[in-house]
Structure 1
Amino acid sequence: MSEVIFSVFPSENFIDLGLYQFGWEQCDPAHSFGPAARNHYLFHLCLSGTGRLIAANGKGEDLEYQIKSGQGFMLFPNQVCTYIADRDLPWEYVWLEFDGLRAKEAVELAGLTQDCPVYKARYKDIYENMKSEMLYIINHKDESPFHLIGHLYLFMDGFVRSSTAAQISKGNRLRDFYIKEAFAFIEQNFQNDISVEDIAAACGLNRSYFGKIFHETMGKTPQEFLITYRMTKATELLKLTDLSVADIGNVVGYPNQLHFSRAFKNVYGVSPRQWRNEHK
């Protein structure tokens, strides 16, 4: 009989890096999961035993990898995969499912891709710190969301720095400057009728080039980021205030309540009023 610890993270909104679910399992011999695809990044770290990962690469071709103790594997959003515990020496693993505007950048810095999803540690001490952060999150599921997100950042730091495939940061300070300028402009003006052209102009860039470097850095288009930012602010107001849905829509840049409700439902799958009833 396999043993499992499984927890779902509370419905809090963290834009840069968010946690969805996490857990630990001592698998039965030949226990398998999939084929299936996830909506977010899902990282497994093998603590003992061994198993196999079958995952689609960037061309949609299924490749097989042997994962042993001390190694891990990353599943990417919408990637179809299956993983199977060894029949004689089934693996024990821990996992974290995460996403956010900085998730793509962090995974790329660690050097992992759909064509190269296997994690191998380069530095044992940093690896041990990373493993400790994963176990801490799993064993402290009742701590506050902010507390757990703090440990998620510590995990991510260890994950990136310990990976044998870690990419050396190019230190593109000018690009970082433009992205920070864009963030600052959005934070100060999201409630106004702003466009991608306005954000690009605030950075002193043309729209095409700005959109390219923003998407390459953040994994989202500027428009997608702006919508996500506005909807996150809307959920905060829905949860923490008694403002009407129309007033909240106006506050986050949607003077037309119908347009606000439609945009909100596209992101969260429910209307603002229904979201409030479920989270108030």
Structure 2
Amino acid sequence: MEQGAFAFRYTEALPYLLLDSIGWQSTDSPYYGNNGHTRTDNGHVIFQYTLSGEGRLELDGQTYRLTPGKAFIVKIPSDHRYYYPVETGEPWEFIWLNAKGEDAFRMWDRIIEHGGEVIALRDRSLSLSSFWDMYKAVSEEKLSDCAELSVMLYRFMLSLFTPDAGLNTQAENSSIVEKAKHYIKENLTTPVTLEDIAAYCGVSGAYLCRLFQRNKLSSPLEYLRRRRIEAAVTMLRTTEMSAQDIGKQCGFESPSYFSKIFKAYLGFSPREYRVQRVNYPFDTIYLD
């Protein structure tokens, strides 16, 4: 097969999922790049995978190196920019496709939730095999029927949920979440901001929040508050410290704020919990 780019303009388009364009190309142009807010083809989703060389993706305040084996998936419009970094000195070779239709955004959201916007794919993954089947059908067999192409596109998109898609990125994301949880555990008694946690993990605050959501967790700061309330419950039952001192010890800036947050989670104030030992005999309470 040879490099090329192919686009489709259907006269009777299916409403669900359509292949808008597909390609295989190389570039070393300093002008190559796209901004997710300035493109005119709104309503599309993009998949792009590096074969050789290197590209860059800016997303949520992070810059990702798109080295061989890395793919990114984004939506148009959205807050992202991808481009060729001329300092690498080597052409960036990649494959890509654009899709549109009712199912395009819906499936992209699920794929991003499953593995993130940047994923690692094995050379012989089902995803790449599905892509090359589609590229061959278009470039060599001249397939242009929207229904047949939609079937192949669904197969490709569903393949991104398989176990061999995005394993490296998922493991990396889990490691970042665990690092954040460790930092929170070690800093329950000190003032902590989202920026502090994110900086410790080496990511942006927005990206860290999204990782927590993908791992079925609350936000980092909500996770911090819950751990602080858990610590406060234990101290109320196992020490003679005043509720005010316990709140301060657990990182709450003022007694009134401590009481407000405690009551929001448990339904009564710290002092009320301390005296209701018969009805609530628990020295430890875990908050999901």
- Higher CA-based Rg: 2
